[in-house]
Structure 1
Amino acid sequence: MKTPRILVIGTGDTKADELRFIEGCIREAGGQPISMDVSILGDPPYPPDYDKHAVLAAGGHHLDKAVAGGDEMSAMTYMAEGAAALTRRLHDEGRIDAFIALGGTMGTDLALDVALALPLGFPKFVVSTIAYSHLLPPDRIATDLMMILWAGGLYGLNSICKAVLSQAAGAVVGAARAVIVPPRAKPVIGMSSLGKSCLSYMVGLKPELEKRGYELVVFHTTGMGGRALEAIAAQKGFVAVMDFSLQELANFHNGSVVNSGPDRLENAGIAGIPQIVAPGAIDMIDMPAWQAPPSHLKERTYYAHNRLIGMVTADDETRRAVARKIGAKLSTAKAPVAFILPTRGIEQWDQEGEPFYDPSGLRAFVDEMGKSVAAPAELHAIDAHINDPLFVETALAILDRWVAEGIVPAGRPDATEAA
């Protein structure tokens, strides 16, 4: 490709040396740096391509307003709005091929907003002193964001800092050169699931959906997977969503960090995307396996899946509360919704002879779910387990009907994905 144009975002008044260094590394890697200054009080000792006045103006703000309150957080919030708007405009006008931002907590806060403003497939890289920290909530992290910890990057250049910045420069230039932007030759259906040992419906659905001319994209619902599904749905990246694993919603309701934010199961409906929904794995509450379960869950059945993640079973009332939450979210959808309710189990270990088998809990959920799905949403209760063939058949029947009714666009069986 032509020389990739890399937008470099940072506070030039405090990090001029670091920004100039990474711009040099970008040039050495074969890229063209384009600078955006997001300083508030000071000015960089060089003329940026986009200064703070241009950034603020892109968000409808002025420097006087940004500094008037004397509140650094408010000022940087204005700057973040402008940086996100200006970066999106530069993207839409085809003037940049990737972006990279440098920062501590303030700079990272701003960079996360910029990344969220950009579509899937556009390279996004953040060099941060809080990369991978629990300070970063899942709903602030863009679908395909790349990060690296800015070790030794608090103040000034040093050998460790240079090693990090040079790697980041090479990574973002390489990403801009190598990225294959999704061609969208076929209509895309988004699906949520867990591993095949827990939820296996995608094994039967994938070939059938591909036969109908759709591309299926499956998201792993262990926190960031659901976040990615929600983010792409919000950008109207699917023609339909099969949201069959709602474990992250149950986790959020129970205060687990293994969640996708408060808007799980909302964005497809807001965007007017038809949804077929099922309650896969809502009976399990995930948590980090390297922490002890919270005291109120210590009496529940616990299973460590690996050294990273473990889960406990939810009690009857918790399942009823999750059912009500699901119903409330579905009621706000602006497109057709069908809810498939398997009455014989909602994940592999939720059946007789398995460790999470809990007939009382399943009955409580099924009862409450039946009350919580209200018209115009459709309720399809099936006398089957979620991993049974009848579940796949039911989902396909609903989709086929919606295609025939013009609710979901027909697939393109003869289309081929561009290389």
Structure 2
Amino acid sequence: MCADKTILIAGTYDTKDDELTYLADCIRAQGGGVLSMDVSVLGDPKAPTDVSKHDVAEAGGSSIQAAIDSGDENIAMQIMARGAAAKALELYRAGRIDGVVVLGGTMGTDLALDLCAALPLGVPKYVVSTVSFSAMLPPERLAADIQMILWAGGLYGLNSVCKSSLSQAAGAVLGAARAVEPSKRDRPLIGMTSFGKTILRYMVTLKPALEDRGYEVAVFHATGMGGRAFESLAAEGAFACVMDFATQEVGNHLMGSGISAGADRLTNAGAAGIPQMVAPACYDLVDLIGWQPLPERLSDRPAHAHNRLLTSVVLNQDERREVAQVMAAKLSDAKAPVAFFLPTGGCNEWDRPGAPLHDADGLAAFCDEMRRACPANVTLEELACHINDAQFSARVLALFDDWVAQGLIPRGAV
């Protein structure tokens, strides 16, 4: 039977040959194809793999001997991680693989995160790990569409417990490769960031208005992983324009929150030469993990428990000024036009006069600092309204139409 989809299986075949072979057998039993990649350093697999450990090390700009000679398992596995990421991307671009599954403990998982991050959004990525969902895994290293399953009872050798995880992974990655709908990109794509309608509402007006103009609109939930997906696509140059209005993840990262999209938030669209419309929705808040106690330095602040997962804490004036400085610095390197909308009436629904988290002096401090710090390549547009008011969306659409008329944004497929 001819395999319809081919899955890359990566792991240390010197120590986990039986488990990786079982995984391959499960995929083949379902009619899928397998391409094997060995990321071992010291030992060898029982039988040759399609991509040898020597191929992997060379793709990482080094060699197996150099990894061995380093005398350090961390250095050695980072050589293999670089090579595995480069080799996986090469195989995908050549049309030889349709998805990937990686197996490992902490060492293999460390490598798996790099490998998965190298592949574009939409390529099925499955990690079977003894540390799946662990706090050891920083959000900024997780590919936006990575899938994980705990490798329960699988640290050493096959058994009925770990076979359950491995067989599920085999079915999941092959099923995903068969079911995934490739992006059509038949209309220019607009990337927008926001939160739910209880706090931000502009997307309710903007999305249909942009669709009527012949554009596709993807709205990203800016709570860490949503920002990662947004930045990943921006780095690929996938967007015709971005409306990055919910930039709170910049402040989250600055304040050390676990709800982070990484250090490169608010930079990839500019680096890719994508026109940007930016606004500071929820700049005044830092999101924290709701089931953890508030840090002592923030415990006396006004806060809103959005649910049991997420609590938002209000920033003070100095912190708001720092957020403005960081945003301005990130935008200063943009290679395409940037418009920064500054709604002087408030930047989220909890920040209206009379609302529980409103701080007029804090808003004024942020606005003052943004005026001062705004770089020369950014057009600062002050709007005497709240970010959820109709005036905000109207001005966004007016500038968007102007940029289309100037040829800065491709015309929609009407």
| TM class, shorter-length | over 0.9
CA RMSD of aligned residues (A): 1.1
- What is residue 149 of structure 2 aligned with on the other side? 148
Alignment of 1:4-19 (within 5 A): 4-19=5-20
Separation in 1, partners of 2:369, 2:61: 47
| Partners of 1:148 and 1:13 in 2: CA distance | 22
Amino acid at match of 2:247: L
Once the two structures are superposed, residues 258-281 of structure 1 have per-residue CA deviations (whole angstroms, 9 ceiling, x without a partner) of 111111101111111111000000
Which residue matches 2:304?
303
Q: CA deviation at 1:405?
A: 1.2
Aligned counterpart, 2:196: 195
Aligned ranges 1:338-353 → 2 under 5 Å: 338-353=339-354
**1:267 is the counterpart of 2:268:** yes
Matches within 5 A, 1:193-232: 193-232=194-233
- Aligned residues of 1:254 and 1:285 also touching (Cα < 8 A): yes
Aligned-partner Cα distance in 2 for 1:410–1:80: 41
Number of the residue aligned with 1:177: 178
Q: 1:130-170, CA deviations, whole angstroms, 9 ceiling, x for partnerless residues? A: 11112111221112111111111211111110000000000
In 1: Cα distance, 2:326 partner to 2:232 partner: 20
Please give the alpha-carbon distance, in whole angstroms, between the structure 1 residues aligned to 2:335 and 2:342: 21
Please state whether the residue corresponding to 1:161 is helix, strand or coil.
Answer: helix
- Alpha-carbon separation, structure 2, partners of 1:135 and 1:353: 41
Q: C-alpha distance in 1, partners of 2:60/2:212?
A: 45
Aligned to 1:369: 370
Amino acid in structure 1 at the alignment position of 2:291: W
Report Cα offsets for 1:293-340 as digits up to 9, x if no partner.
111111111211111111111111110110111111111111110000
Shift in alpha-carbon separation, 1:127–1:119, aligned structure 2, 3 A:
same
Residue pairs, 1:108-119, within 5 angstroms:
108-119=109-120
Measured after TM superposition, the shift of residue 58 of structure 1 is 2.0
Deviation at 1:2, TM superposition (A): 5.2
**What's the offset of the Cα at 1:65?**
1.6
Checking the alignment, whether the CA contact within 8 Å between 2:3 and 2:33 is kept in structure 1 is no
Counterparts in 2 of 1:75-154, with a 5 A limit?
75-154=76-155
Task: State the one-letter code of the partner of 2:12.
Answer: T
- Tell me the residue number matched to 1:325: 326
* Offset of residue 393 of structure 1: 1.1
2:27 alignment partner in structure 1: 26
The one-letter code sitting in structure 1 at the alignment partner of 2:74 is M
| Matches of 2:299 and 2:86, distance apart in 1 | 47
Number of corresponding residues: 413
What's 2:252 paired with? 251
Give the partner amino acid of 2:129.
Answer: S
2:294 equivalent in structure 1: 293
8 Å Cα contact 1:56/1:63 also seen in 2: yes
Alpha-carbon distance in structure 2 between the residues aligned to 1:153 and 1:391 = 54
Do the aligned residues in 1 keep the contact of 2:251 with 2:283 (CA within 8 Å)? yes
Report the Cα distance in structure 2 between the residues aligned to 1:189 and 1:139, rounded to whole angstroms.
Answer: 23
CA shift, 1:372, in A, is 1.4
CA distance in 2, matches of 1:88, 1:359: 50
What corresponds to 1:416 in structure 2?
none
Q: How far does residue 9 in structure 1 lie from its aligned partner after superposition?
A: 0.3
Cα distance in 1, alignment partners of residues 136 and 407 from structure 2: 44
CA distance in 2, matches of 1:250, 1:54: 42
Distance 2:236 2:68 in 1: 33
* Distance in 2 between residues matched to 1:318 and 1:351, nearest whole Å: 20
User: Any gaps of 5 or more consecutive residues in structure 2?
Assistant: none
Deviation at 1:59, TM superposition (A): 2.4
Report the secondary structure of 2:409's partner residue.
Answer: coil
Contact 2:3 2:32 in 1 (8 A): no
Q: CA–CA distance in 2 between the matches of 1:235 and 1:149?
A: 30
**TM superposition score normalised by structure 2:** 0.98
Written as runs of structure 1 = structure 2, the 5 A alignment for 1:395-406 is 395-406=396-407
Aligned to 1:240: 241
1:374 to partner: Cα distance = 2.2
Q: Distance in 2 between matches of 1:75 and 1:406?
A: 49
Tell me if structure 1 keeps the 8 A contact 2:235–2:271: yes
Report Cα offsets for 1:11-41 as digits up to 9, x if no partner.
0001011101111111112211211100001
Is the 1:278–1:340 Cα contact (8 Å) retained in structure 2?
A: yes
Amino acid at match of 1:276: M
1:388 is displaced (CA, Å) by 0.4
For residue 232 of structure 1, report the CA deviation from its aligned partner.
0.9
* Partner Cα separation in structure 2 for residue 120 and residue 263 of structure 1: 17
Code of the residue aligned with 1:10 in structure 2: it is G
**Helix, strand or coil at the partner of 2:15:** coil
Taking the aligned partners of 2:377 and 2:48, their CA distance within structure 1 comes to 57
**Range with greater deviation from structure 2 (389-398 or 54-63):** 54-63
Tell me, yes or no, if the aligned pair for 2:329 and 2:375 is still in contact at 8 Å.
no
**Residue type matched to 2:352 in 1?**
Q
Deviates more, 1:275-284 or 1:29-38: 29-38
Residue type at the aligned position of 1:302: A
- Assess if the C-alpha contact under 8 Å between 2:140 and 2:260 holds in 1: no
In 2, distance between residues paired with 1:76 and 1:247? Answer: 35
Tell me the secondary structure at the aligned position of residue 7 of structure 1: strand
**What is the CA-CA distance between 1:104 and the residue it aligns to?**
1.0
Contact (CA 8 Å) 1:122, 1:181: kept in 2 or not?
no
Q: Which runs of 5+ in 1 are unaligned?
A: 414-419
Contact 1:205 1:392 in 2 (8 A): yes
